[in-house]
Amino acid sequence: MEVKLIKGDITKENVDAIVNAANHTLLGGGGVDGAIHKAAGPKLLAACKEVIKRIGSCPTGEAVLTEGYELPASYVIHTVGPVWHGGDKQETSSLASCYFKSLDLAASKGLTSIAFPNISTGVYGFPKELAAEVATYTVKQWIEETAYDSTLKEIHFVCFDDENYKWYEQKMVEQNLI
């Protein structure tokens, strides 16, 4: 398994699936979600509406898959991160679930590569150091538990801002991921 740390825009990632930090409605918003919808084109929103028609809403910590349309990535995995409420509302386990379920979903589709943004660290207000720790720890756990019989060979952490990049660098070293 190759785990890479990347500084930049996730919409440019040439992987099988990029992960979107979505909300319950999958109806599009700002931040990384806005960038992904803009780059993927209007078919992505139509596909999200179809998913919502089927499931009602996407709960926190869950993940659903659509095609990637105009993106270089073939698929988008939409996951709903937790809003930070101070830390006693199961925020860390919900965030871990986003990473775990996105990886499970990618593996269940036979995908070989996936790129994650820094889920919940924008408008959802999750502290960046803790989010980086949860993300790297969870991915490490998933690799140890699941990767041996998985198609998945490459996992990218894509950081848009310097602060996230710095924390990821530190946490990935601590987790022996780089």
Q: Shortest Cβ distance from residue 40 to ligand ADP (Å)? A: 12
Round to whole Å and give the CA distance between 117 and 159. Answer: 6
Q: Shortest Cβ distance from residue 41 to ligand ADP (Å)? A: 15
**88-99 burial, b if ≥16 CB within 10 A, otherwise e?**
eeebbebbbbbb
Q: Shortest Cβ distance from residue 7 to ligand ADP (Å)? A: 10
**Helix locations, the chain, DSSP H:** 31-40, 42-55, 91-108, 128-146, 162-174
Q: Which is nearer to ligand ADP, 133 or 150 (CB)?
A: 133
Whether residue 65 contacts residue 96, with contact meaning beta carbons closer than 8 Å, is answered with no
Round to whole Å and give the CA distance between 91 and 107. Answer: 25
Question: Can you give the binding site for ligand ADP, defined by CB under 6 A?
Answer: 9-11, 21, 31-33, 35, 81, 117-124, 158, 160-161, 164
Decide if 33 is catalytic.
Answer: yes
Q: Which is nearer to ligand ADP, 97 or 118 (CB)?
A: 118
Whether residue 60 contacts residue 124, with contact meaning beta carbons closer than 8 Å, is answered with no
Q: Which is nearer to ligand ADP, 149 or 162 (CB)?
A: 162
The single residue of 9, 16, 33, 161 carrying the catalytic annotation is 33
Catalytically active residues, by annotation: 33
